[in-house]
Structure 1
Amino acid sequence: MLSSGGDGDGRVSVSLSELLALRARVARVALPTRESRVASAGQQSSRLYGRGMDYAESRAYQPGDDVRRLDWRLTARSGKLHTKLFQEEREGRVLVLLDTHASMRFGTRSRFKSVQAARAAAMAAWLAVRAGERIGAVAFGERTHILRPQGGTRGALAFCGALADRSAGAEGRSESLSEALLRAGRLVRSAGRVLLISDGLSCDDLARGRLLDLRRHADIGVLIVGDVLELATAPVGRYPLEHDGVRREVVLQAERQRREFQQALGAGQARLAALAQALGLRQRTIDTVVDPLDAVVGLLGASGQR
């Protein structure tokens, strides 16, 4: 996952040159203001206990507080125990959870879902560079690589190279979203922001609890990628489809038949969208034709906005 493995065609395999060129595209977009307690880009504040950090405020003592952090002056004045809270500046981290299941290698317009997902992920990387943040990735599905967060242009280049790597993965391997979140473990929880990019077919029942736990540690955005046939009812017509080298033609005529066809193809997207809505996570749905930049900027925008 760390070398380019050649350049793809940008349609069925991702083009490294296109991923690198997206930097200029991202550089021109106006970014929303994110909440921060520090002025410098790429720095996020959190209230932690510790020495050698900036004092933030004091609050009433709670069982389990470190007695070394007691605010003795306020305690003496109020007659009640108070604990000091300190503010630590941490470099921001963006982690992309990228779906690499075989279902992502499908598309009837412009490009495969996998290529569109890679384009969106690369945009997230270049956005992180602009914000002075580190960018990392966890691939799940046929590929199960982990790219630990790295900063600056070097980090984004490594990230794009990983996206464009076309070396063979474990063909046919299936990994649920909950399994991926469990495997990522501490790396996911250490990120300030997480962007999940998937077509939703890997979304399972256990993912709900794991995403709920992750939401306590990070700001989560969900980018749902679908083909136009998965997202909208197809017009009347004949549709040639190919799978595992076998080519078939699907004839769609009656409205009910076309609606059921769309619902069957788009079951994954609908399931993931419903879960994100139930958990109050920011979400966007894109097809394989649109420019994903607006969706990515919206998902990695101001913290706390849904």
Structure 2
Amino acid sequence: MNDAIAPSLSMLLALRGEASVRRPPKRAREGASGAALSPLRGRGMEYAESREYAIGDDARHMDWRVTARSGRPHTKLFQPERERATWIVADRAPALYFGTRVRYKSVQAARLGASAAWSALNDGDRIGAVCGSASEPPRMPASGMRGVLPVLEALVRWYSQADQAHSFERTLLQLRRMARPGSRIVVLADPASVVAIDVAQWRALAKTGALHVLMPSDAFEQSPPRRRLRFLSADMRSEVDLGGADAYRRWQACFAGTLQQALTVIRDAGGEAQAVATEASASEWLTGFRAAQAEVA
């Protein structure tokens, strides 16, 4: 199939080199003989063990089960997660399966997701993916190529054709149940899908981890010619006359206006948002992704 209309696995595999350019330094990690476990719990921390309570320990981390069993107060100890999870979240709205510059927006979405997966591999993260479909279970985060390849294969399948039964809201709710604090979350979405989600849900995701929302953008949608346009799909023909000022304003509100609204929603919620043209490199956006990685390391 034409790579401009549907992504191929070979295309996504080839993006590894592009995503590896200017690879950031590895995060420092404590070994087995490193610093002592912390009694404090923060982002990216997981339970390690319990010990007897000592003066100065945070009472919020009391281990009440061990305390009840032993008869002596115990507190929980936590340690940094050895591997952070990077989640690729796929919107499959029909509006993504369109394009006039180089490739469909859906293909660019797959390319963006692949570049995120390769970058996460370089950073030593576990990689997972979710699309919220009843017939497509999530790809649970895994390390190395065991994590990357299932995600790439899923992106090829998910972005080869639209899923009319797909629910973007269900996708995000599913992700919130699975993502642990300190995760990186890369959302591939159409702007209209973004603004349809309650801002409280975006705020919750931004609190869970570093939130990046990437919206493939087609130049024709953002700035169409001012004339009568004819559209042809598999089962219908339609015409839109953009010669008049009112019609052109409505078009701009529908596409450019919705994109700006989506960018504002995500940024106000505490996440990073970016429109990526269909003809753009799939890795240009990684600068912000890597900056966030350094910030939470």
| Residues 199 and 268, structure 1, Cα contact 8 Å, conserved in 2 | no
DSSP 3-state at the match of 1:90: coil
1:276 CA displacement: 0.3
Paired letter, 1:13: A
From 50, 68, 72, the counterpart of 2:48: 50
1:251 CA displacement: 3.6
Does residue 97 (structure 1) correspond to residue 95 (structure 2)? The answer is no
From 138, 143, 147, the counterpart of 1:146: 138
Cα 1:102/1:49, change in 2 over 3 Å: closer
| Residues 101 and 279, structure 2, Cα contact 8 Å, conserved in 1 | yes
**More divergent stretch after superposition (113-122 vs 16-25):** 16-25
2:102 is matched with 110
1:181 CA displacement: 1.7
CA distance in 2, matches of 1:119, 1:249: 31
1:142 CA displacement: 9.5
2:238 is matched with 248
CA distance in 2, matches of 1:250, 1:208: 32
1:224 is matched with 215
CA distance in 2, matches of 1:271, 1:219: 20
2:112 is matched with 120
1:15 is matched with 8
CA distance in 1, matches of 2:161, 2:215: 22
Identity %: 28
DSSP 3-state at the match of 1:100: coil
| Residues 9 and 156, structure 2, Cα contact 8 Å, conserved in 1 | yes
2:283 is matched with 293
C-alpha RMSD of the superposition: 3.7
Paired letter, 1:252: L
TM-score w.r.t. the length of structure 2 is 0.77
1:165 CA displacement: 2.4
DSSP 3-state at the match of 1:158: helix
1:164 CA displacement: 1.6
1:136 CA displacement: 0.9
**More divergent stretch after superposition (256-265 vs 272-281):** 256-265
1:32 CA displacement: 4.5
What are the ranges of 5 or more consecutive residues in structure 1 without an aligned counterpart? 1-7, 71-80
**More divergent stretch after superposition (168-177 vs 212-221):** 168-177
2:180 is matched with 189
| Residues 49 and 77, structure 2, Cα contact 8 Å, conserved in 1 | no
What are the ranges of 5 or more consecutive residues in structure 2 without an aligned counterpart? 32-41, 68-72
1:195 CA displacement: 0.5
Aligned positions, number:
279
Paired letter, 2:14: A
**More divergent stretch after superposition (258-267 vs 124-133):** 258-267
1:65 is matched with 62
**Greater share of strand:** 1
CA distance in 1, matches of 2:178, 2:140: 8
Paired letter, 2:200: G
1:198 is matched with 189
Q: 1:70-89 residue pairs with structure 2 within 5 A?
A: 86-89=78-81
**More divergent stretch after superposition (208-217 vs 121-130):** 208-217
Paired letter, 2:130: V
Does residue 280 (structure 1) correspond to residue 270 (structure 2)? The answer is yes
1:88 CA displacement: 3.1
TM-score w.r.t. the length of structure 1 is 0.75
**Greater share of helix:** 2
Cα 1:173/1:217, change in 2 over 3 Å: same
2:22 is matched with 30
**More divergent stretch after superposition (123-132 vs 291-300):** 291-300
Cα 1:277/1:46, change in 2 over 3 Å: closer
Cα 1:169/1:39, change in 2 over 3 Å: same
Paired letter, 1:156: V
1:292 CA displacement: 2.6
